[in-house]
Structure 1
Amino acid sequence: MNNLSDLLTDSQFNIVSNMLSLGIASMLFTTFFLVLARDRVLPRYRLAVLISATVTGIAAYHYFRMFDSFNHAFSTLDGAVNNAAIYNVGYRYVDWLLTVPLLLMEIVAVLALTRQLQSSLLKRLVPAAALMIILGYPGDAKLDIWGIAPSVWGLLSTIPFLYILYVLFIELSKSLVRQSPGVQKKIKQLRLLLIATWGVYPIAFIFAMNSDGFVADQFVAREVGYTIADILAKCLFGLLIFSIARMKSAEDDAEFAKTEFRD
């Protein structure tokens, strides 16, 4: 957790507050949509859609907590900033610890692979995702654990990140040959979306790592960057999963396609 002082201007406060509010709205209403729309795909693909809704639902809860923590840390009373309050950066990491493995599960679930192949992929992806988040937290929060520098924690968290990319781009690609061209294209878009959004996190990590204490501009940039990346990596990702589930449902069932995709 980071001790915050009265270094945020009114405009900086409003930027972070509005971005966290946008995060809440995006996550919450994406969850509502995915839950209500789950019957628009065949039963075999509904698990992937419900996992997507779970991801955004978990994120919505944690964005509520972050919004409350931020406002408490910077609440004003008679023009005085509450310097003693603490903004809990751990909320993001608890969120990621739960949602990042689920994001990877969405990809595997929506492809409707054989049980053996699903199990093989998940046994590698889920532990790697959890390890990536666990190793990244001490560095971002600048915790003094065993005297290890934040940069070392960042480097350690990069190892499972690279392994996840290997599984997604090398191992998963072997199973895509059995998918239709349309589905293959969507899966490639999902993987590129993950790289683009996940790439924001190490960049923000590196900027924060190079400063001691609280720096307002870096704090604002980090919160804005993390929130935008979260919205894309969770909401847009979940909607792409839903579109893949719809596409595969239409491919599997001609009657479904006629009902759902009328001219």
Structure 2
Amino acid sequence: MESIQYDRFTSSESEIPEHMGPPPSTPNRQDRRIFIMFGVLSLFLLTLTLAVGIKFTQVSMQVSDLMESLDVVSTSIKVLQKGSSTYPELIIPVRGENPHPIVIYILLPLHSIIFNTKCVCVSYKGPCEDDWTFFKDKCYFASKLRKSWEDAEKNCVQRNAHLLVVNDAEEQDYISQVIEMGTNFWIGLVEREEGTWSWVDGTDYTKTKHFWDDGQPDNWDVRLNGEDCGQLHARSQVTHRPWNDADCSLAYKYICEGRPRRHQSHA
């Protein structure tokens, strides 16, 4: 009896499965993972392609700007080397506020070349004496020495000339190009009667264009002698309104103006 029960117990144990655990992965789940990975990779490649395309477009635009700029520079150099008395403005068309560094790297040396070439052209001597420059049938001399306004005018007269008389904007622009920046120069403006300005050569002051700096002439009464003589004011030369009234006894450099002729060579 006991033997039969033991055999049944043993027989029931042998019916238990040998392997227990989770069921193996199905093919559908593996395919889903592959599709997800493929989608992520495709999205990454699309984003990368768009980024490269945008960058390429930007570089192409900058190269186009550079070529246009080089054409402008080349044209300007050719005009300047011909000695033209009029100079086109150098316009560099660059899109955006910050041009590409390569544009700046290339254009800066070219800007220096143009500036130096322009200086040579505007300083053309022509039929004038040494140290004088020629512009529109007139000769100009910028002194290196400093004198009072009266002594400056006397020195110009000794050179068969007179202190500068500015007749129009073109002449003023030319003078602003050839004089030394950051320096005051006497010109042929004088206030012999209070409130009445005149040119030393008799040109009617009321019929010429004026280029007084803001608030000038102010006849600043701090100076003992007042301010009765005109000068090109150093700090205002870049504003195209460089005139200022000053004390005639002050020593400044000066600009003489005369007709083409032989001048005395001594300073």
The normalised TM-score by structure 1 is: 0.22
Higher relative CO (Cα under 8 Å, sequence separation at least 6) belongs to 1
Q: Which has the higher strand share?
A: 2
Return the index of the structure with the highest Cα Rg: 2
The structure that is helix-richer by fraction is 1
